[in-house]
Protein backbone atom coordinates (compact mmCIF):
# COMPACT_ATOMS: atom_id res chain seq x y z
CA UNK A 1 0.00 0.00 0.00
CA UNK A 2 2.66 2.52 0.93
CA UNK A 3 5.80 1.30 -0.77
CA UNK A 4 5.69 4.21 -3.19
CA UNK A 5 6.12 6.77 -0.39
CA UNK A 6 9.04 9.21 -0.45
CA UNK A 7 11.25 8.76 2.59
CA UNK A 8 10.92 11.75 4.97
CA UNK A 9 14.08 13.81 4.75
CA UNK A 10 13.51 15.02 8.30
CA UNK A 11 13.07 18.55 9.59
CA UNK A 12 16.20 20.73 9.47
CA UNK A 13 15.76 21.84 13.08
CA UNK A 14 14.02 18.95 14.85
CA UNK A 15 16.20 16.24 13.25
CA UNK A 16 19.30 18.07 14.38
CA UNK A 17 17.98 18.16 17.91
CA UNK A 18 17.41 14.40 17.74
CA UNK A 19 20.95 13.88 16.43
CA UNK A 20 22.25 15.96 19.34
CA UNK A 21 20.40 13.77 21.88
CA UNK A 22 22.06 10.67 20.39
CA UNK A 23 25.56 12.18 20.32
CA UNK A 24 27.56 10.34 23.03
CA UNK A 25 30.11 13.15 23.57
CA UNK A 26 29.86 14.53 27.11
CA UNK A 27 30.98 18.03 26.16
CA UNK A 28 28.54 18.52 23.25
CA UNK A 29 26.78 21.90 23.00
CA UNK A 30 23.21 22.29 21.71
CA UNK A 31 22.84 25.65 19.94
CA UNK A 32 20.43 24.29 17.35
CA UNK A 33 16.76 24.27 18.36
CA UNK A 34 15.07 27.42 19.66
CA UNK A 35 14.81 26.41 23.29
CA UNK A 36 15.98 28.41 26.29
CA UNK A 37 18.39 26.47 28.50
CA UNK A 38 19.43 27.83 31.89
CA UNK A 39 22.94 28.23 33.31
CA UNK A 40 22.93 24.51 34.21
CA UNK A 41 21.94 23.54 30.69
CA UNK A 42 18.40 22.54 31.70
CA UNK A 43 15.07 23.63 30.27
CA UNK A 44 13.66 25.49 33.28
CA UNK A 45 10.18 24.97 34.66
CA UNK A 46 9.32 28.48 35.81
CA UNK A 47 8.20 28.93 39.43
CA UNK A 48 5.16 30.86 38.25
CA UNK A 49 4.17 27.89 36.06
CA UNK A 50 4.78 25.34 38.84
CA UNK A 51 2.58 27.34 41.19
CA UNK A 52 -0.18 27.65 38.61
CA UNK A 53 -0.05 23.87 38.17
CA UNK A 54 -0.12 23.29 41.93
CA UNK A 55 -3.24 25.47 42.17
CA UNK A 56 -4.89 23.52 39.37
CA UNK A 57 -4.10 20.20 41.05
CA UNK A 58 -5.37 21.42 44.43
CA UNK A 59 -8.63 22.64 42.93
CA UNK A 60 -9.36 19.39 41.15
CA UNK A 61 -11.78 20.37 38.43
CA UNK A 62 -12.84 18.31 35.45
CA UNK A 63 -11.06 16.95 32.41
CA UNK A 64 -13.87 17.89 30.07
CA UNK A 65 -13.31 19.20 26.54
CA UNK A 66 -12.64 22.86 26.06
CA UNK A 67 -14.83 24.67 23.51
CA UNK A 68 -13.50 24.60 19.93
CA UNK A 69 -12.06 28.10 20.33
CA UNK A 70 -10.41 27.23 23.64
CA UNK A 71 -10.73 28.57 27.16
CA UNK A 72 -12.51 31.91 27.54
CA UNK A 73 -10.21 32.81 30.45
CA UNK A 74 -7.10 32.17 28.41
CA UNK A 75 -8.41 33.96 25.31
CA UNK A 76 -9.23 37.06 27.33
CA UNK A 77 -5.86 37.00 29.09
CA UNK A 78 -4.04 36.63 25.77
CA UNK A 79 -5.90 39.60 24.32
CA UNK A 80 -4.83 41.77 27.25
CA UNK A 81 -1.23 40.62 26.89
CA UNK A 82 -1.09 41.33 23.16
CA UNK A 83 -3.08 44.53 22.78
CA UNK A 84 -2.87 45.99 26.28
CA UNK A 85 -5.96 45.89 28.50
CA UNK A 86 -8.68 48.26 27.33
CA UNK A 87 -7.35 48.72 23.80
CA UNK A 88 -10.01 50.14 21.49
CA UNK A 89 -9.88 46.99 19.29
CA UNK A 90 -10.80 44.88 22.33
CA UNK A 91 -13.39 47.31 23.69
CA UNK A 92 -15.16 47.37 20.33
CA UNK A 93 -15.10 43.57 20.08
CA UNK A 94 -13.30 43.46 16.75
CA UNK A 95 -10.65 40.89 17.75
CA UNK A 96 -11.39 37.19 17.23
CA UNK A 97 -9.03 35.11 19.40
CA UNK A 98 -8.73 31.33 19.59
CA UNK A 99 -6.52 29.28 21.87
CA UNK A 100 -4.46 27.06 19.57
CA UNK A 101 -2.08 24.10 19.72
CA UNK A 102 1.07 26.19 20.06
CA UNK A 103 1.51 29.10 17.68
CA UNK A 104 2.25 26.52 14.97
CA UNK A 105 -1.35 25.33 15.36
CA UNK A 106 -2.48 28.94 15.10
CA UNK A 107 -0.40 29.60 12.00
CA UNK A 108 -1.81 26.54 10.29
CA UNK A 109 -5.44 27.27 11.22
CA UNK A 110 -4.95 30.80 9.88
CA UNK A 111 -3.38 29.41 6.70
CA UNK A 112 -6.30 27.02 6.14
CA UNK A 113 -8.73 29.89 6.73
CA UNK A 114 -6.93 32.12 4.18
CA UNK A 115 -6.90 29.34 1.61
CA UNK A 116 -10.67 28.89 2.08
CA UNK A 117 -11.79 32.53 2.29
CA UNK A 118 -9.15 34.48 0.34
CA UNK A 119 -8.38 31.99 -2.42
CA UNK A 120 -5.79 33.32 -4.80
CA UNK A 121 -3.95 35.30 -2.13
CA UNK A 122 -0.28 34.38 -2.04
CA UNK A 123 1.89 34.53 1.08
CA UNK A 124 5.11 36.53 1.27
CA UNK A 125 7.69 35.55 3.85
CA UNK A 126 11.01 37.17 4.74
CA UNK A 127 14.20 35.93 3.09
CA UNK A 128 15.20 34.00 5.18
CA UNK A 129 12.47 32.89 7.57
CA UNK A 130 11.74 30.05 10.00
CA UNK A 131 12.13 26.85 7.98
CA UNK A 132 8.60 25.69 8.73
CA UNK A 133 6.74 28.82 7.54
CA UNK A 134 6.95 27.92 3.88
CA UNK A 135 6.04 24.28 4.56
CA UNK A 136 2.99 25.26 6.59
CA UNK A 137 1.53 27.73 4.13
CA UNK A 138 2.31 25.56 1.12
CA UNK A 139 0.80 22.65 3.03
CA UNK A 140 -2.43 24.67 3.22
CA UNK A 141 -2.35 25.02 -0.57
CA UNK A 142 -1.10 28.61 -0.72
CA UNK A 143 1.67 29.94 -2.92
CA UNK A 144 4.65 31.23 -0.96
CA UNK A 145 7.13 33.88 -2.13
CA UNK A 146 9.86 35.83 -0.37
CA UNK A 147 10.53 39.52 0.20
CA UNK A 148 14.07 40.83 0.81
CA UNK A 149 14.95 40.99 4.49
CA UNK A 150 18.42 40.08 5.71
CA UNK A 151 21.52 41.72 4.31
CA UNK A 152 24.06 38.92 3.92
CA UNK A 153 26.79 41.30 2.69
CA UNK A 154 28.94 40.61 -0.32
CA UNK A 155 32.10 38.61 0.25
CA UNK A 156 33.06 38.81 -3.44
CA UNK A 157 33.02 42.65 -3.49
CA UNK A 158 36.34 44.44 -3.30
CA UNK A 159 36.78 45.23 -0.48
CA UNK A 160 34.33 42.60 0.86
CA UNK A 161 31.15 44.19 2.20
CA UNK A 162 30.04 43.15 5.66
CA UNK A 163 26.29 42.44 5.89
CA UNK A 164 24.29 41.71 8.99
CA UNK A 165 21.61 44.38 8.80
CA UNK A 166 18.14 44.70 7.38
CA UNK A 167 17.37 45.37 3.69
CA UNK A 168 14.55 47.64 4.71
CA UNK A 169 14.36 49.72 1.52
CA UNK A 170 14.35 46.61 -0.66
CA UNK A 171 11.71 45.06 1.59
CA UNK A 172 9.43 48.10 1.22
CA UNK A 173 10.06 48.28 -2.54
CA UNK A 174 8.92 44.66 -2.94
CA UNK A 175 5.86 45.10 -0.72
CA UNK A 176 4.85 48.10 -2.84
CA UNK A 177 4.55 45.80 -5.87
CA UNK A 178 2.31 43.14 -4.30
CA UNK A 179 -1.29 42.62 -5.38
CA UNK A 180 -4.00 43.66 -2.91
CA UNK A 181 -4.85 41.00 -0.29
CA UNK A 182 -1.42 39.41 -0.44
CA UNK A 183 -0.51 37.98 2.95
CA UNK A 184 2.73 39.36 4.42
CA UNK A 185 4.22 37.23 7.16
CA UNK A 186 6.17 39.36 9.65
CA UNK A 187 8.09 38.38 12.77
CA UNK A 188 6.81 40.69 15.50
CA UNK A 189 10.12 40.54 17.40
CA UNK A 190 13.30 38.44 17.65
CA UNK A 191 13.35 37.42 13.99
CA UNK A 192 13.93 33.70 13.46
CA UNK A 193 16.56 32.84 12.18
CA UNK A 194 18.50 36.13 11.92
CA UNK A 195 17.85 38.01 15.18
CA UNK A 196 17.56 41.17 13.03
CA UNK A 197 14.41 43.17 13.78
CA UNK A 198 12.74 46.27 12.40
CA UNK A 199 13.25 49.31 14.63
CA UNK A 200 10.13 51.09 15.96
CA UNK A 201 10.68 53.78 13.30
CA UNK A 202 10.82 51.12 10.57
CA UNK A 203 7.58 49.55 11.80
CA UNK A 204 6.07 53.02 11.66
CA UNK A 205 7.20 53.38 8.05
CA UNK A 206 5.99 49.89 7.12
CA UNK A 207 2.38 50.26 8.25
CA UNK A 208 1.32 52.88 5.62
CA UNK A 209 2.78 50.70 2.87
CA UNK A 210 0.80 47.69 4.08
CA UNK A 211 -2.34 49.81 4.30
CA UNK A 212 -1.97 51.59 0.95
CA UNK A 213 -1.45 48.28 -0.86
CA UNK A 214 -4.36 46.66 1.03
CA UNK A 215 -2.08 43.86 2.23
CA UNK A 216 -2.89 41.41 5.01
CA UNK A 217 -0.16 41.33 7.68
CA UNK A 218 0.26 38.03 9.51
CA UNK A 219 2.39 38.47 12.62
CA UNK A 220 4.27 35.58 14.20
CA UNK A 221 5.02 36.41 17.83
CA UNK A 222 6.90 33.42 19.24
CA UNK A 223 9.48 35.17 21.44
CA UNK A 224 7.58 37.81 23.36
CA UNK A 225 9.77 39.02 26.23
CA UNK A 226 13.06 37.84 24.75
CA UNK A 227 13.75 41.07 22.81
CA UNK A 228 13.27 44.24 24.80
CA UNK A 229 10.56 43.13 27.25
CA UNK A 230 7.04 41.73 27.30
CA UNK A 231 5.37 45.08 26.58
CA UNK A 232 8.01 46.40 24.18
CA UNK A 233 7.89 43.19 22.13
CA UNK A 234 4.16 43.71 21.52
CA UNK A 235 4.95 47.00 19.77
CA UNK A 236 4.15 45.77 16.24
CA UNK A 237 0.86 44.21 17.34
CA UNK A 238 -0.29 47.44 18.98
CA UNK A 239 0.87 49.61 16.11
CA UNK A 240 -1.13 47.57 13.62
CA UNK A 241 -4.15 47.50 15.94
CA UNK A 242 -3.94 51.30 16.30
CA UNK A 243 -3.80 51.66 12.50
CA UNK A 244 -7.24 50.08 12.09
CA UNK A 245 -5.91 47.48 9.61
CA UNK A 246 -7.13 43.91 9.47
CA UNK A 247 -4.37 41.51 10.47
CA UNK A 248 -3.53 38.15 12.03
CA UNK A 249 -1.26 37.45 14.98
CA UNK A 250 -0.21 33.96 16.08
CA UNK A 251 1.49 34.00 19.46
CA UNK A 252 3.23 31.35 21.51
CA UNK A 253 3.96 30.70 25.19
CA UNK A 254 6.46 27.91 24.46
CA UNK A 255 9.47 30.16 25.02
CA UNK A 256 8.03 32.94 27.18
CA UNK A 257 6.62 30.50 29.77
CA UNK A 258 9.06 27.68 28.98
CA UNK A 259 6.13 25.32 28.37
CA UNK A 260 7.26 23.88 25.01
CA UNK A 261 5.50 20.53 25.28
CA UNK A 262 2.23 21.99 26.55
CA UNK A 263 1.56 23.47 23.09
CA UNK A 264 0.22 26.76 24.41
CA UNK A 265 -0.55 29.40 21.80
CA UNK A 266 -3.25 31.54 20.29
CA UNK A 267 -4.41 33.06 17.03
CA UNK A 268 -6.03 36.50 16.95
CA UNK A 269 -7.59 38.19 13.95
CA UNK A 270 -8.14 41.92 14.23
CA UNK A 271 -11.14 42.81 12.08
CA UNK A 272 -12.90 45.96 10.89
CA UNK A 273 -15.74 45.62 13.40
CA UNK A 274 -17.42 43.24 15.84
CA UNK A 275 -19.75 41.74 13.20
CA UNK A 276 -16.80 40.76 11.01
CA UNK A 277 -14.95 39.34 14.04
CA UNK A 278 -17.98 37.13 14.77
CA UNK A 279 -17.93 35.78 11.22
CA UNK A 280 -14.18 35.17 11.38
CA UNK A 281 -14.36 33.41 14.74
CA UNK A 282 -17.14 31.18 13.41
CA UNK A 283 -15.19 30.07 10.35
CA UNK A 284 -12.01 29.66 12.40
CA UNK A 285 -13.96 27.33 14.70
CA UNK A 286 -15.10 25.33 11.67
CA UNK A 287 -11.44 25.05 10.61
CA UNK A 288 -10.33 23.87 14.05
CA UNK A 289 -13.15 21.35 14.33
CA UNK A 290 -12.04 19.78 11.07
CA UNK A 291 -8.43 19.64 12.23
CA UNK A 292 -8.09 18.80 15.93
CA UNK A 293 -11.50 19.66 17.41
CA UNK A 294 -10.35 21.67 20.41
CA UNK A 295 -7.10 22.68 22.15
CA UNK A 296 -5.58 21.44 25.43
CA UNK A 297 -6.99 22.10 28.87
CA UNK A 298 -3.73 22.08 30.79
CA UNK A 299 -2.12 24.74 28.59
CA UNK A 300 -5.14 26.99 29.09
CA UNK A 301 -5.00 26.58 32.86
CA UNK A 302 -1.34 27.51 33.07
CA UNK A 303 -1.49 30.51 30.76
CA UNK A 304 -4.68 32.04 32.11
CA UNK A 305 -3.52 31.73 35.71
CA UNK A 306 -0.02 33.05 35.14
CA UNK A 307 -1.32 36.03 33.17
CA UNK A 308 -4.17 36.99 35.50
CA UNK A 309 -3.11 36.03 39.05
CA UNK A 310 -1.90 39.07 40.99
CA UNK A 311 1.04 37.13 42.48
CA UNK A 312 1.98 34.93 39.54
CA UNK A 313 1.97 37.64 36.87
CA UNK A 314 4.77 39.79 38.33
CA UNK A 315 6.68 36.64 39.22
CA UNK A 316 6.47 35.48 35.59
CA UNK A 317 7.52 38.91 34.31
CA UNK A 318 10.62 38.75 36.52
CA UNK A 319 11.39 35.23 35.29
CA UNK A 320 11.13 36.35 31.65
CA UNK A 321 13.40 39.31 32.39
CA UNK A 322 15.97 36.97 33.97
CA UNK A 323 15.98 34.71 30.88
CA UNK A 324 16.34 37.72 28.58
CA UNK A 325 19.18 39.16 30.65
CA UNK A 326 21.02 35.84 30.80
CA UNK A 327 20.91 35.60 27.00
CA UNK A 328 22.27 39.15 26.70
CA UNK A 329 25.10 38.21 29.06
CA UNK A 330 26.00 35.15 26.97
CA UNK A 331 25.90 37.23 23.80
CA UNK A 332 28.41 39.60 25.40
CA UNK A 333 30.67 36.78 26.64
CA UNK A 334 30.79 34.99 23.31
CA UNK A 335 31.41 38.28 21.53
CA UNK A 336 34.31 39.16 23.85
CA UNK A 337 35.90 35.71 23.64
CA UNK A 338 35.72 35.67 19.84
CA UNK A 339 36.93 39.26 19.51
CA UNK A 340 39.96 38.37 21.65
CA UNK A 341 40.74 35.30 19.56
CA UNK A 342 40.14 36.91 16.17
CA UNK A 343 40.74 40.66 16.50
CA UNK A 344 40.40 41.21 12.74
CA UNK A 345 36.84 39.91 12.58
CA UNK A 346 33.62 41.73 13.40
CA UNK A 347 31.42 39.90 15.90
CA UNK A 348 29.27 42.91 16.81
CA UNK A 349 26.24 41.11 15.36
CA UNK A 350 26.08 39.07 18.57
CA UNK A 351 25.35 42.32 20.41
CA UNK A 352 22.97 43.95 17.95
CA UNK A 353 20.79 40.91 17.11
CA UNK A 354 17.81 40.28 19.40
CA UNK A 355 16.27 37.26 21.05
CA UNK A 356 17.36 33.64 21.04
CA UNK A 357 19.07 33.58 17.67
CA UNK A 358 22.11 34.98 15.95
CA UNK A 359 22.94 34.52 12.33
CA UNK A 360 26.64 33.77 12.32
CA UNK A 361 27.27 33.73 8.59
CA UNK A 362 29.04 30.36 9.00
CA UNK A 363 28.78 28.24 5.87
CA UNK A 364 27.12 24.79 5.92
CA UNK A 365 30.61 23.26 5.67
CA UNK A 366 31.77 25.23 8.72
CA UNK A 367 28.62 24.27 10.64
CA UNK A 368 29.28 20.61 9.77
CA UNK A 369 32.85 20.93 11.06
CA UNK A 370 31.63 22.51 14.29
CA UNK A 371 29.31 19.55 14.85
CA UNK A 372 31.57 16.73 13.67
CA UNK A 373 34.88 17.87 15.19
CA UNK A 374 33.75 19.85 18.22
CA UNK A 375 30.23 18.61 19.08
CA UNK A 376 28.84 22.16 18.74
CA UNK A 377 25.43 22.03 17.04
CA UNK A 378 24.06 24.93 14.98
CA UNK A 379 21.40 24.88 12.26
CA UNK A 380 23.03 24.52 8.85
CA UNK A 381 21.92 28.01 7.81
CA UNK A 382 24.46 29.28 10.37
CA UNK A 383 21.74 30.10 12.92
CA UNK A 384 22.95 29.84 16.50
CA UNK A 385 20.57 29.57 19.44
CA UNK A 386 22.52 31.74 21.86
CA UNK A 387 20.06 30.71 24.60
CA UNK A 388 21.92 27.37 24.67
CA UNK A 389 25.15 29.01 25.86
CA UNK A 390 26.21 29.02 29.52
CA UNK A 391 29.38 29.81 31.41
CA UNK A 392 30.38 26.13 31.18
CA UNK A 393 30.26 25.91 27.37
CA UNK A 394 30.85 29.40 26.03
CA UNK A 395 34.64 29.10 25.93
CA UNK A 396 34.49 25.78 24.10
CA UNK A 397 32.05 27.31 21.66
CA UNK A 398 34.28 30.33 21.04
CA UNK A 399 37.33 28.10 20.55
CA UNK A 400 35.48 25.83 18.13
CA UNK A 401 34.01 28.72 16.18
CA UNK A 402 37.35 30.43 15.99
CA UNK A 403 38.93 27.21 14.66
CA UNK A 404 36.41 26.77 11.85
CA UNK A 405 36.37 30.47 10.92
CA UNK A 406 39.77 30.11 9.39
CA UNK A 407 38.36 27.62 6.90
CA UNK A 408 36.03 27.95 3.92
Q: Which of 36, 130, 253, 347 binds ligand LMR (CB under 6 A)?
A: 130
State the pairing for strand pair 247-252/264-270. antiparallel
Site for ligand LMR in 310-369 (CB under 6 A): none
Helix (H) or strand (E) holding 323: helix 312-341
CB of 12 to ligand LMR, least distance (A): 9
Q: Which H or E run contains 251?
A: strand 247-252
User: 260: which residues sit within 8 A by CB, 6+ positions away?
Assistant: 35, 43, 254
Question: CB-wise, 87 or 191, nearer to ligand LMR?
Answer: 191
Pair 82, 251: CB distance under 8 Å:
yes
Nearer to ligand LMR, 103 or 390 (CB): 103
Q: What is the rounded CA–CA span in Å between residue 60 and residue 285?
A: 28
User: Cβ of residue 322: shortest distance to ligand LMR, in angstroms?
Assistant: 21
Interface with ligand LMR, residue 13, by CB under 6 A: yes
Which residues within the stretch 369-398 sit at the binding site for ligand LMR (CB under 6 A)?
none
Cα 26 vs. chain centroid, distance in angstroms? 30
Could you tell me the smallest distance in angstroms from the CB atom of residue 356 to ligand LMR? 8
Q: Pick between residue 16 and residue 277 the one whose CB is nearest to ligand LMR.
A: 16
Give yes or no for residue 128 binding ligand LMR (CB under 6 A): no
Q: Are strands 144-148 and 123-127 parallel, antiparallel or unpaired?
A: parallel
String marking each residue 16-45 x if it binds ligand LMR according to CB under 6 A: -----------------xx-----------
Q: Decide whether 189 or 241 has the Cβ nearer to ligand LMR.
A: 189
Q: How far is the CB of 220 from ligand LMR (least distance, A)?
A: 10
Give the nearer residue to ligand LMR in terms of CB position, either 90 or 323: 323
Least distance in angstroms from the C-beta of 186 to ligand LMR: 16
Give the span between the Cα atoms of 155 and 229, in whole angstroms: 35
Under the criterion CB under 6 A, does residue 225 sit at the interface with ligand LMR?
no
Using CB under 6 A, which residues numbered 169 to 208 contact ligand LMR? 192
Instruction: Tell me the C-alpha distance between 353 and 192, whole Å.
Output: 11
Q: How many residues bind ligand LMR (CB under 6 A)?
A: 6
Residues 6+ apart with CB under 8 A from 394: 330, 333, 334, 337
| Residue closest to ligand LMR, measured at CB | 34
CA 59 vs CA 46, 51, 53, 54: distances in Å:
20, 12, 10, 9
State how far the Cα of 311 lies from the Cα of 305, in Å rounded to an integer.
10
Residue 41's nearest CA partner among 26, 53, 51 is: 26
Catalytic residues: 130, 220, 255
**Should residue 124 be labelled a site residue for ligand LMR when binding is judged by CB under 6 A?**
no
| Interacting residue ranges for ligand LMR, rule: CB under 6 A | 13, 33-34, 130, 132, 192
Amino acid sequence: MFQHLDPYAGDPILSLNEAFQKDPRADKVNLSIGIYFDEQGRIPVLDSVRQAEAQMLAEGGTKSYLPIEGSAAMRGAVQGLLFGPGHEALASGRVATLQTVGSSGGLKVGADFIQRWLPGSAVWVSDPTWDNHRAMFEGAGLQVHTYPYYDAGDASASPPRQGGGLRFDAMLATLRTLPARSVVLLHACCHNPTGVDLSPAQWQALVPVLRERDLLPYLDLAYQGYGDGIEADAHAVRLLADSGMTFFVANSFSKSMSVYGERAGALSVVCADAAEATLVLGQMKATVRRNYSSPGLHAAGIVSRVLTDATLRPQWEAEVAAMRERIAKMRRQLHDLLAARRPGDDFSYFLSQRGMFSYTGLSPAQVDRLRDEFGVYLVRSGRMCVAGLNSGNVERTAAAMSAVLGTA
